[in-house]
Chain A
Amino acid sequence: MHESHPDRGAKLPDFFETYRQENPFVVPHNYFSELPDKVLDRIKEEKHASLFYRLIDINRLWALRGILRPALAVASVLLIISVFLLWPNSTDQIAMSQLTQDEVTDYVIYNIDEFEEEFFYIEEADDLDLLRESLEGEGLEGLLDDLLDDIDEETIQNIL
């Protein structure tokens, strides 16, 4: 058994010996003389590509840190302002019904620029109608009584 084992001195069959040294494959002309350059070119391309990404990722950002830092600061401030300007608008609407008349008046006084002029005309006209209705009949008497209750004697003397 051992004698027939190819690695223990037994020769390979003649068939194998005949074809051992013959190479039926060929390569394109100059293939081996050009191959090292092709591989080295691929290595260079990969190096450039990785260098490019590294520059973008790290060095470029590091170089731009002088611009990026204030830009980020400004962006942060704008974001905070946006949140303050936009967020309360929706909450205001919810809270309006819970505000007192004085709070509404204060708000209008402090934000007078935000209101259209026509808005006040309408509101003024509505108020005048309401006042007119109030001053008719019993409303007028009630209003006078209220005013008299609020005015003390010293004030009346000062007026007179």
Chain B
Amino acid sequence: MASDKDPNFDRLNEEDHLLELLRDSKTRDEGFRQLMYRYQEKVYWHVRRIVLDHDDANDIVQDTFMKAYKAIDRFKGDSKIYTWLYRIASNEAITWINKKKRRATHSIDNEDSVIAQRLEADPYFDGDQTQKLLYVAIASLPDKQQLVFNMRYFDELPYREISRILKTSEGALKASFHHAVRKIEKFFQDVEV
């Protein structure tokens, strides 16, 4: 059978089935529930690593899925569902970060220490000092580098997939990731000094 030969067959078949459910108004809610169970954790952790705070991540993830539900009729199926969801979630998270930066009362120079203090006070952060610094370093990256680094480093997405999500060439993504790694290394060197 095809499913025995091709490990992606079942997944693709499942995605087609999910799309069928989502496109029929009678089965849409059930399809959406299945979609959420399948992708909510990936989307949540992607958002959480950008905004760091659970409550903020929760709001953004809910908004992401609300937008996806409303736009399901416009989803043409020319990309995978999770590519589409990642794109919505990334846009929502970056928009949220930029709004927060505009509203911030502290100066940009204090941004790192503010993020470190927030992580320390966060009951839903259980990392050690190095992990805390790693997330502070990632948060200090420009938006695009931050997204590329997280998708590549944590989510381990191939560049081809990140390219579809962010609509950027693979070459540019590789350069972004390279710069991000160098900046994080330098951040730690400066901290040690």
Contacts and interface: CB of A to CB of B under 8 A. Distances in A.
Contact of B124 (A6, A16, A28): A28
Contacts of B127: 22, 24-25
Contacts of A38: 62
Main secondary structure of the interface of B (DSSP, over half): helix
A40 B44 contact: no
Contacts of A35: 36, 40, 44, 61-62
Interface in A86-101: none
Interface of B: 29, 32-33, 36-37, 40-41, 44-45, 48-49, 52, 54, 58, 61-62, 65-66, 69, 124-128, 130-132, 134-135, 152-154, 159, 174, 177-178, 181, 184-185, 188
Contacts of A31: 58
Nearest to A43: B69
A32 B43 CA distance: 11
A39 B37 CA distance: 12
Contacts, number: 83
Interface of A: 5-7, 12-13, 15-16, 19-20, 22-28, 31-32, 35-36, 38-40, 42-43, 46
Contacts of B32: 36, 39-40, 43
A19 B131 contact: yes
A118 to B, nearest CB: 75
Contacts of B29: 40, 43
22 contacts: A5-B178, A6-B174, A6-B177, A7-B152, A12-B153, A13-B181, A13-B185, A15-B185, A15-B188, A20-B153, A22-B127, A24-B132, A25-B45, A25-B124, A26-B124, A26-B126, A35-B62, A36-B36, A36-B40, A39-B32, A39-B62, A39-B66
Given A13-B181, A24-B131, A35-B62, 4 more contacts: A7-B174, A20-B154, A39-B36, A43-B69
Contacts of A13: 181, 185
Contacts of B66: 39, 42-43, 46
Contacts of A7: 152, 159, 174, 177-178
Contacts of B33: 36, 40
A27 B124 contact: yes
Given A13-B185, A40-B29, A25 B126 contact: yes
Given A24-B125, A39-B65, A16 B181 contact: yes
Contacts of B61: 35
Contacts of B54: 25, 27-28
A22 B54 CA distance: 17
A31 B43 CA distance: 14
Contacts of A5: 174, 178
A32 B48 CA distance: 13
Nearest to A33: B37
B125 A25 contact: yes
Nearest to B30: A40
Contacts of B177: 6-7
Contacts of B52: 25
Contacts of A19: 130-131, 134
A26 B126 CA distance: 7
B42 to A, nearest CB: 11
A15 B128 CA distance: 14
